[in-house]
Amino acid sequence: MADYLIAPSILSANFARLGAEVDAVLEAGADVVHFDVMDNHFVPNLTIGPMVCKALRDHGVTAPIDVHLMVQPVERMIDSFAEAGASIISIHPEATMHVDRSLQQIRDAGCKAGLVFNPATPLHHLDYVLDKVDVILLMSVNPGFGGQKFIPATLDKLRQARQRIDESGYDIRLEIDGGVKTDNIAEIAQAGADMFVAGSAIFNEPDYAKVIAAMRRELASVAHSKK
């Protein structure tokens, strides 16, 4: 896998032509498809479910599909998304009574397991489950809608999460989601993120390849400065 992964959020894609949109963004150089699942209960919006994930696989999408579950409860959806072809399934600690069990359920279903932190959710939820986590996803907006502004306090949280990952020795991705743009992605990478969800920054522009290439140039400068 590349050192830095760019994961366009299809929340900002044109849903009337979703298969073509996903093809286009992958051809434009994206690494991962970020798939936002909202239930109008855990978050105030309603989006797409496992049938759409399966439809993308049936359409021929082979790239990793990164499912962010903003639903409560999570248990039934974990197996449904695994069967539908998800690669990563991420859950919020507030959305399950049994964080450890749900993370294990994701891995038992053959997927990578992610734990998601809302802007005000403390990192201590990682304390006893770090060995069961493949992805830590920090929300840099309150979940529910694309096109919001990046919350600056997330940079400090990223640094803390990066330190925890590095000290643990586990192979864990540090993903960031919300308000990621070409002009702040370098600062976010400097703070420790290595997987970047971007919805409106990519899908609201006519040339997806141009945005992704600009993001990669910013990321390359960070990688270079870390050498």
The annotation places the binding site for substrate at 9, 68, 144-147, 177-179, 199-200
**Binding status of residue 141 toward ligand 5RP by CB under 6 A:** yes
Q: 45 or 104, CB closer to ligand 5RP?
A: 45
Q: How far apart are CA 170 and CA 172, in angstroms?
A: 6
- Please work out the total of residues on this chain that contact ligand 5RP, with binding judged by CB under 6 A: 22
Among all residues, whose Cβ is closest to ligand 5RP?
A: 199
Strands, E assignment, the chain: 5-8, 33-38, 65-70, 88-91, 112-117, 135-139, 173-177, 195-198
Minimum Å gap between C-beta 10 and ligand 5RP is 9
Question: 3-state DSSP call for residue 131?
Answer: helix
**Binding status of residue 95 toward ligand 5RP by CB under 6 A:** no
Minimum Å gap between C-beta 227 and ligand 5RP is 29
Among 50, 64, 114, 179, binds ligand 5RP (CB under 6 A): 179
**Binding status of residue 195 toward ligand 5RP by CB under 6 A:** no
Instruction: Transcribe 3-20 into DSSP letters.
Output: SSEEEEBGGGS-GGGHHH
User: Across the strands, what pairs with 88?
Assistant: 66, 112
**Binding status of residue 177 toward ligand 5RP by CB under 6 A:** yes
Give the binding range for ligand 5RP (CB under 6 A) out of 124-132, 161-169, 195-203, 213-221: 195-203
**Binding status of residue 68 toward ligand 5RP by CB under 6 A:** yes
Residues classed as catalytic:
36, 177
What letter would DSSP give residue 105?
A: H
**Binding status of residue 72 toward ligand 5RP by CB under 6 A:** no
Long-range pairs of 116-119 with CB within 8 A, sequence gap ≥ 24:
116/68, 116/90, 116/91, 116/92, 117/92, 117/93, 117/157, 118/92, 118/94, 118/142, 118/143, 119/151, 119/153, 119/154
- 11-40: contacts with ligand 5RP (CB under 6 A): 11-12, 34, 36
Q: How far apart are CA 3 and CA 8, in angstroms?
A: 16
Residues near ligand 5RP (CB under 6 A): 9, 11-12, 34, 36, 68, 141, 143-148, 177-180, 197-201
